[in-house]
Amino acid sequence: MKKVAFFDTKPYDRTWFDALGKNYEITYFEEKLNHHTAKFTDGFDAVCAFVNDRVNALAIERLYNNGVQLIAMRCAGYSNVDVKAAFQKLHIVRVPAYSPHAVAEHTMGLLLTLNRRLHKAYNRTREFNFSIVGLTGTDLYGKTVGVIGTGKIGRTFIDICRGFGMRVLAYDKFPAKDSGLNYVELDTLLRESDVISLHCPLTPDTRHILNRDAFSKMKKGVFILNTSRGALIDSEALLDALNSRTVGGAGLDVYEEEANLFYEDRSDTIIHDDTLALLVSRPNVILTAHQAFLTEEALHNIAEETIKNLDAFFSGAPLENEICYLCDRDKAGHDCRKTRRERCF
């Protein structure tokens, strides 16, 4: 039976992995995977990692020396993995789609909460304060939403916005073919949108795609939504845009320096991150702790697809969800995913 080291474990992870991973000997670690905790993997065949694990070159070297063959990411993103360092040492697989509805619906929840001040109303009525002064929102109907990134999650969010009668503008470096979406240049989207929602992966091109220059081009009072990756937004620039009222509100499920904070109870801890503290203090900022994926359906799908990835690797079957350094670097035709035996290892 193959042995899998499962890092950054939470109770909700074990429910489905215990049910679906009976063919593997899974050892659960609460610690995040990094170059220190990689020492725990001696004798394991694979590791299972998540969004805030730090799988850098040193961690990969230690995994490789311990005999680990596979890094199974139980998430879609892999910007926290040094894929170049892993090249020709470790295979990497991911879960490219688990529930686009989960993330898209959470994004709309953030927008509705911001717009109608539901968080403020909730706090007031718990104190029997039934005043509605200061809770005025706007109709979403007829407003323009700009969606940056039109993969499965982005398109699902677009469908939801269309249900509200919103006008949709889209931007993507690789537009979805035959989608019927109204693709525009990024500057046009920034200039015309009442709401801007991020649904793109974190790459060198998209890092801080919303920076000071981008905020300077936006409508006064725009809402910003990010349920993708924290570093898509320059947090200090966002704070300044909030202070100048260029941004009317921000709904964030991610933060660029979240790795050592999110998924843990820090309520008794002094947070030494002034930018985060200031963002949380703003009445027009809603921050959730990277929970947009957290539905029963998504958790089931994550576990199911991760186990399928493990099964494929250890049986020698083609790896449909493999991450390859050359494939990611060379988008102009190189593709080793057809069969692992002919890949660029």
Among 21, 255, 227, 217, which Cα is nearest to 114's? 227
For the sheet containing 222-226, what is the strand order? 167-171, 144-148, 195-198, 222-226, 247-252, 285-287
- Phi, psi at 192, each rounded to 5°: -100, -10
Catalytic residue at 290?
A: yes
User: Contacts for 236-239 with beta carbons within 8 Å, 24 or more apart?
Assistant: 236/275, 237/208, 237/210, 237/211, 237/212, 238/210, 238/279, 239/275, 239/278, 239/279
The CA distances from residue 48 to 96, 97, 116, 249, in Å, are 15, 17, 40, 36
Of 229, 256, 305, 322, which is the active-site residue? 229
Q: Under DSSP, is residue 81 helix (H, G, I), strand (E, B) or coil?
A: strand
Of 62, 91, 199, 258, which is the active-site residue? 258
Name residue 145's beta-bridge partners.
168, 195
Among 56, 58, 66, which Cα is nearest to 5's? 66
What is the rounded distance in angstroms from the CA atom of residue 284 to the CA atom of residue 221?
Answer: 11
Of 74, 91, 199, 290, which is the active-site residue? 290
Catalytic residue at 282?
A: no
Point out the residues that are catalytic: 229, 258, 290
